Structure 1
Amino acid sequence: MSTAEGAVPSWWQRAGGALGFHVPVLAFALRTALAAFVALWIAYAIGLEHPHWAAMSAWASSQPMREHLLSRGIYRFSGSVVGVVFAIALVLVAQESLWVLAFGLALWGALCAFLGNLQRGYMVYGCMLAGYSAAMVVLLHHGPAGSVWPLAWDRMFTVVTGVAAALCVSWCFAPRRKAVVLIAQSRAALAGVLQATAADLRQQSRPAGGDYAQLLSRMAQVEDLLELYPEGSRTARNTSQAIHWQQHHALELVYFLGLASQTRQMQASAEDSAALEQEVKEAPQPPYAPLAQALEQLVAALQAPPQQQEDQALGVHLALRQAIGACEDAVAGVQSQAKQVPPVMQALYWLLQEMRQGLRAEELDLHGRTRSSWRPGSSERLPLHRDWVGAREAAVRAGGTLLIFGIVWAWTQASIVAFGMLGLSVMLLVFSAFESPGRTMAFVLRGQLIGAGLALLCQALIWPWAQSAVQMVWMVLPFALMGGLLFAHKRTAAGAMDINMAMFILLAPVFPDTASLGQHLSMALAVVSGPALAWVVYRWVYPTNAQRRMQTLARMMVQEVPAMAHRLLEEAKPSRGMAVSVAVTNWWQAQLHHRLLRLVRWADKTQLPQRAQLPRMGLSLRAMQTAMLQLQQWRRETIFATPALRRTERLAQVALQRTVAWGKAQPGDVASRKARAAWASLAQQPVLPAVLAMQLLGIVQRDIPILDGVRQALR
């Protein structure tokens, strides 16, 4: 039994904790260090030219969970293959022209940085590895173009050796991914949404944790867990996909709950719009008590630990079936009164239906059925957020910097510049997708300084005693284990991966070691110059951190409103054949929901003081775009045969035009007042349906002011 399960820690665990080690990480770090040494030994034994690359590959591909270990190893191998193939092609085309090599590497690095920043999970690592694998072959190759093949094959075999060593050593010890953690947190978030829905159905105040901001924060935590969860398992991918769709439908329900609450407040405060309020006034609501009770029972079932569901008197499946039946009965009761089904009921019903697929995926995952052929009903992938702005900036940063250093390399033909350029390419590619790469560089630089110091210690004091290359390899073992200990210690954990990378890149066992201490020192300085230069680049060229990424994402979300207004204007007088498809509408809604969750998660991590405005921002973005689409649908279905209808059409065009201008202006500018005035004039037209007029009035009173406030706060 593990410590997490309640066992008493052993003496070595207590001793390790007293010495400052992360005890759960210590075993992983030591076996990874052993795998790195095994890879070094095997690579040397089979005669590879750069056996230390195998040790670096073992460290880079090792992961604490079995599925992630396999997935990262596959991406490391695939990225290396792509990078080496490009390097061979570039060397053969260049025919020893350093200028062609410099420009080719800069373009390839920019492309890999761009594509990598658009990906998720370990695909990011694969794209970045393709970039600097090409740099390794090109920058370390000497001689005619035809002689590149041995170096390319050496790179491939060292990668395969390192990945295989990591798999063989760590596979038996690495635990499987624990599905129960994600599933329990996802069900808890869904339970909070359903609990808030039941309270609204009973017209009672929501329980603690049921307000919009807290619900979003809990779902954002689930979204954070989904980042790497699908790696290495088809069943995990199915579970991740199902939970993504559950999150989407849960946010739809939360949106309609919040919109209904705000609409009631607007109606209560709009004393001068009695006629409009009379038109939208609803009949007495049917009794929702049975549905609320069924939802409360489903909440109780979801809040039970997933591994104990089979022992519950009322299992989650039975509770879900009862909730779906109660929802169908409530909808039938509404329709029997010749009334329109409220959007809240529709959103609730679709969420409950999606939960049926989610429960099936979760059960297969909990029971470890990794070979199941079952697929979620929602086979369409959820449109996830892609950071196009960050990808473009990363491409310009990496490509431009490599181009400048490549020109210096081609001009001077200095090998030390090529070696420094190699380290810089790694830093500019691998860490460009981090939330705060500039801050990360400080830890990387510290780690590489420690690793370079250990390597110099081995080269100056230990290797001179070696009588053969075999002894040199064995003399690396204590330093490899020391790197594992530094990886697990609390004081050196940040940047510890780079301790081992820098140490192994400098410890190339060549007997006899004819290099002087000065030469070893110059190589060490060239290695650590990579993160130092990268820190300068990250600081001055598109400086990026978590707060800046959050601001960029918020601006992208807000700009979707004027962009939609521009698209609607381009349709001119819309025809019936130009209706926006349901798939397109669902696409932007789902992408908005995913972006909102990422924005909330970043705000929680950075403790943004204005993060309380983000839920209102999401509500306003969803409501404003929905209102514009509803307006466009009314324009499609209307023949403007009367002066009043033609006037309304002209006002609609003016409102869309001023919305486009509002998106280009500064927050709080005169363009904001003009946009609000245009939408207010349109909302007062008597020919509009009452519900649509109320939606347009919400743009004036709620949406534009909230979005202006967010733009001002995040500027």
Structure 2
Amino acid sequence: MSEASWLQRNGFDRARLLFATRTALACCLAVVVAWAMGLEHPQWSGMSVWAASQTLRGQLLEKGFFRFAGTLIGTVVGVFLVLGMQLHPAIMVAGLAFWVGLCTWAGNLQRGLIAYGTVLAGYSASMVALLDTAHPDQVLHLGADRLATVLTGVLVATLAGYFFAGQGDAADLRARIRNLLADLLRHLAEPAGGGGALLSRMAALEESLDPHAAGSLRSRREVRACRAVLLAALPLLLRAEGAPPLPAPLAARLSDAAGARDRGDMADARRILENLPLDDCDDPGHLVQGLTGALRDWDAPEAADGATSTAPLVVLHRDWIGAREAALRAGGAMLLFGAIWLVTGWSLGPFMLLGLSVMISLFSTFENPARMMRYVGAGQALGVIAAILCHRLLWPLAQTELQQILMLVPFLMLAPILVAHRRTVLGATDYSMILLLMSQPHLPLQEGLSDILLRGVAILAAPLTAWVGYRLIYPVSLQRRRGHLVQMMLRDLAAIARDPQALARRPVWQARLYHRALRLVRISERLPGARDRALMQSLTILTLAHAVMRCHELVADPNTSAATRRAAQLVCRRLERIASSGDRTPRSLDRLARRLDGVDAQTLRRAASGLRQLPPIG
């Protein structure tokens, strides 16, 4: 039996084991280097190694940058908070609660590693403001030490991992998008079901784009072009759902374009799409033009230089509701337990607040943070146990601080095993973080067993408190995130209906709604039985948005009859209330459809039908 098969059969992942082993060795090296530099908290360098290490080169560079940038900003804020504490301790507690809440809010509105850096700026202030509250006069020294250790850890992680990290498979990503487009074109030519599966593939591809954007401006432009292609393809897919078949000449040309995509002849496929026979098609040609413009920028960006791009805008979904709730939860928890600390004077309160600032902010960006707290708590418990064993069994034998560090190494090298196994991977990083946090090399030893135990209890109280917060205060789950998405799509729809200038902002509205539809489908696929419901909601809301835009066009057209204009205005007024009252009255859409013909009537009838079948919101 080979080594790889033995590891796999016993629950270990060989690639994760190799990566974690390199990371653990780099962690040990960083602690030694930081100690040799004379830094007071060399263990923080090891923590930064675990935080900054990544398997892809672009992510490694970008996360290292945001690790240091977030720490720098948080350290500056932490210094000012400690200076404020000298006026009154409540200033520090209130300021820290506000800062952590603010960074949590901003981090939940962002994507990728910039979200990590933003949240990190929040709890980095805690590390400066809370770890040495008994000596506020030394805060500048503590801040400088924090920055130096983080920079040391980031540099060691980057140097140790750069040549082992992969570069990401951009070719595979492009191939998946090409295959999707070919299948989409065939589906448009001969609709025969399967639109839901295509939409699911599209949503999965969109979600996988962000990791490829890390590391360079070129990667970001590539990802933006890929996302523009997906957003341009989405309305064409929606057009095929329930619409009459396309004229035979147009369907044949779409099949030809799909064949060219299959052959890898991008230029021929684009040429076919740019010269489609649209004269006999009722659908507006701007949908196809949007796709061809996006493909031009994606397939041959040099061809678009100096030309006006017809690719659609890329406007990403931001969870404003979830961000507000996360900020209130994080800021409120920090304020409450900070006040308890001030009133009780508990000496280990700062350790509890420090852990809470991480748990209640960083993990709020996860899909199910309450579930993550169970794994985090288990990993931290193992870290506390390992730290106690090291402190009580080995460190009393050490004669120098270097010996203390070397005695810590075997415990640090247990982390790769935890990372590699499928049952312990989610808590493995927290094991290392807590072990390092509790293991500052220092002689002579001053802490007794009771002191270490109490510090461990204070640390473990943080994930437990955060778990309670995630369960009781604006409970975070995939169901709620899905509900937020639907609610924001309905708010967008109501805002489009309400805004008389909606036509001028049509590209922005459409791009945001398309991206939210993809996110809704992707999240719903992780919930049992929610996929079909999400497809229905997405299709209905996007069809309604298209119908509302057409109503605005009819109102603005001087050739529209007075009766038709009034009917279009009635549709807009009814849909203005869809987000607040859940208005399910499609009669106004039916009345307007009877006054129109062709694709306009079909769109309105589909919107009315979808409104009748729209599942309950929530």
TM superposition score normalised by structure 2: 0.93
Match of 1:274 in 2: none
* SS of residue paired to 2:426: coil
Matching residue within 511, 518, 540 for 1:620:
540
Match of 2:513 in 1: 592
Instruction: Tell me the CA shift for residue 509 of structure 1.
Output: 1.0
Q: In structure 2, give the amino acid aligned to 1:256.
A: R
Instruction: Tell me the CA shift for residue 18 of structure 1.
Output: 5.0
CA distance in 1, matches of 2:565, 2:422: 66
* SS of residue paired to 1:192: helix
* SS of residue paired to 1:386: coil
* Pairing 1:214-613 to 2, within 5 Å after superposition: 214-258=197-241, 260-261=243-244, 285=247, 287-288=249-250, 291-301=253-263, 315-324=264-273, 328=275, 330-331=277-278, 334=279, 341-343=281-283, 346-360=286-300, 382-568=314-500, 580-581=503-504, 584-607=505-528, 609-613=529-533
Instruction: Tell me the CA shift for residue 690 of structure 1.
Output: 6.2
CA distance in 2, matches of 1:321, 1:682: 37
Aligned residues: 617
* Pairing 1:16-31 to 2, within 5 Å after superposition: 16-31=7-22
Q: In structure 2, give the amino acid aligned to 1:316.
A: D
Match of 1:676 in 2: 586
* Alignment CA distance shift 1:377-1:231 (3 Å): farther
Q: Is the 8 A contact 2:183 2:258 kept in 1?
A: no
CA distance in 2, matches of 1:95, 1:180: 57
Answer yes or no: is 1:125 the counterpart of 2:74: no
Match of 2:575 in 1: 659
* Alignment CA distance shift 1:378-1:520 (3 Å): farther
Instruction: Tell me the CA shift for residue 288 of structure 1.
Output: 3.5
Could you list the runs of 5+ residues in structure 1 that have no partner in the other structure?
1-8, 201-205, 265-283, 302-314, 365-372, 569-577
TM superposition score normalised by structure 1: 0.81
* Alignment CA distance shift 1:132-1:289 (3 Å): closer
Q: Is the 8 A contact 1:199 1:292 kept in 2?
A: no
Q: Is the 8 A contact 2:253 2:272 kept in 1?
A: yes
CA RMSD of aligned residues (A): 2.7
Q: Is the 8 A contact 1:617 1:706 kept in 2?
A: no
Query: For residues 505-544 of structure 1, what are the alpha-carbon distances to aligned partners after superposition, in whole Å with 9 as ceiling and x for unaligned?
Result: 1111111212111111111111111111111111111111
Q: In structure 2, give the amino acid aligned to 1:617.
A: Q
> Which is further off, 691-700 or 108-117?
691-700
Matching residue within 172, 175, 186 for 2:177:
186
Q: Is the 8 A contact 2:567 2:588 kept in 1?
A: yes
Instruction: Tell me the CA shift for residue 150 of structure 1.
Output: 0.2
Query: For residues 252-289 of structure 1, what are the alpha-carbon distances to aligned partners after superposition, in whole Å with 9 as ceiling and x for unaligned?
Result: 2112222523xx8xxxxxxxxxxxxxxxxxxx946336
Q: Is the 8 A contact 1:239 1:358 kept in 2?
A: yes
* Alignment CA distance shift 1:706-1:300 (3 Å): same
> Which is further off, 154-163 or 251-260?
251-260
Q: Is the 8 A contact 1:294 1:319 kept in 2?
A: no
* SS of residue paired to 2:215: coil
Instruction: Tell me the CA shift for residue 564 of structure 1.
Output: 2.4
* Alignment CA distance shift 1:532-1:555 (3 Å): same
Instruction: Tell me the CA shift for residue 121 of structure 1.
Output: 0.3
Match of 1:636 in 2: 556
* Alignment CA distance shift 1:379-1:119 (3 Å): farther
Q: Is the 8 A contact 1:113 1:128 kept in 2?
A: yes
* SS of residue paired to 2:440: coil
* Alignment CA distance shift 1:357-1:628 (3 Å): same
* Alignment CA distance shift 1:12-1:529 (3 Å): same
* Pairing 1:205-216 to 2, within 5 Å after superposition: 206=192, 211-216=194-199
Instruction: Tell me the CA shift for residue 86 of structure 1.
Output: 1.2
CA distance in 2, matches of 1:432, 1:289: 47
Larger radius of gyration: 1
CA distance in 2, matches of 1:12, 1:164: 32
Instruction: Tell me the CA shift for residue 12 of structure 1.
Output: 4.3
> Which is further off, 147-156 or 651-660?
651-660
CA distance in 2, matches of 1:579, 1:440: 42
Q: Is the 8 A contact 1:66 1:175 kept in 2?
A: yes
* SS of residue paired to 2:12: coil
CA distance in 1, matches of 2:157, 2:297: 36
CA distance in 2, matches of 1:15, 1:93: 57
Q: Is the 8 A contact 1:358 1:376 kept in 2?
A: no
Q: Is the 8 A contact 2:24 2:415 kept in 1?
A: yes
* Alignment CA distance shift 1:345-1:295 (3 Å): farther
Match of 1:101 in 2: 92
